[in-house]
């Protein structure tokens, strides 16, 4: 059975805290709050409802990128797996809900962002960090490139193979 997934809009209650494991993997804690706001019909004022606080955790490049990009008070779109953290301190057992964050980004309704790929992400495949072999090495490993049949002359979605685009609109 898999863990429940959560996707929502929350707000950072503190700056991300970046640290590194003994093995050198980056991990960041991101404290989040999710609340419900509603418009009071009598006063025409927005009122805060219940608040759900949770500690989010991100790993590797996502941890490094999040700690460079996000800060306390930012509204973010976040998605991840809910889980329970358990620990023992001074003989007492404790537990709390936690969120293993798979993706997180600032809400562009309240922020302006300039997106750029970091150097390491351009060289790696995803968060796991596995490097992609160069194209010619892929073919050497037995993978062949498929050749597609030429597009019909009357195909409105056809792309000029030489330039990579078409000047003609598809309608």
Residue 100 counted as domain residue: yes
Mean pLDDT of 98-124: 80
What stretches of the chain show up as alpha helix (H) in DSSP?
60-69, 119-123, 135-140
Residue 148 counted as domain residue: no
Residue 32 counted as domain residue: yes
Q: Give pLDDT, residue 78.
A: 95
Q: What confidence tens digit (pLDDT) does each residue in 56-110 have?
A: 999 999 999 999 999 999 999 999 999 999 989 999 999 999 999 999 999 888 8
The domain that contains 17 carries what CATH number? Answer: 2.40.50.140
Query: pTM of this prediction?
Result: 0.63
Indicate whether 149 pLDDT > 60: no
Q: Give pLDDT, residue 48.
A: 82
Range of 33's domain? 5-110
**HSE-up (13 A, CA, CB side) for residue 137:** 4
Residue 65 counted as domain residue: yes
Residue 171: partners with Cβ closer than 8 Å, 6 or more residues away: 156
Residue 134 counted as domain residue: no
Alpha-carbon torsion angle 52, 53, 58, 62, nearest 10:
70
Q: Give pLDDT, residue 129.
A: 45
- Structure tokens given for 135: 């194209």
Indicate whether 117 pLDDT > 80: no
- At residue 133, the 3 state secondary structure works out as coil
Residue 66 counted as domain residue: yes
Residue 89 counted as domain residue: yes
Indicate whether 133 pLDDT > 50: no
Residue 143 counted as domain residue: no
Number of folded domains that form the chain: 1
């Amino acid at each position: 059975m898999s863990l429940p997934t959560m996707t929502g809009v929350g707000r950072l209650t503190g700056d991300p805290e970046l640290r590194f494991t003994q093995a050198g993997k980056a991990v960041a804690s991101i404290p989040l709050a999710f609340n419900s706001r509603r418009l009071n019909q009598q006063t025409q004022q927005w009122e805060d409802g219940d608040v759900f606080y949770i500690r989010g955790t991100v790993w590797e490049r996502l941890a490094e990128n999040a700690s460079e990009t996000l800060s306390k008070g930012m509204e973010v779109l976040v998605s991840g797996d809910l889980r329970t953290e358990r620990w023992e301190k001074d003989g007492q057992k404790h537990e709390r809900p936690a969120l293993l964050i798979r993706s997180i980004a600032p809400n562009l309704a309240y922020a302006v962002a300039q997106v750029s790929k970091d150097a390491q992400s351009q060289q790696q495949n995803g968060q796991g960090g596995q490097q992609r072999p160069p194209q010619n090495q892929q073919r050497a490993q037995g993978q062949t490139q498929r050749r597609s049949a030429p597009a019909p002359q009357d195909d409105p979605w056809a792309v000029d193979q030489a330039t990579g685009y078409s000047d003609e609109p598809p309608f």
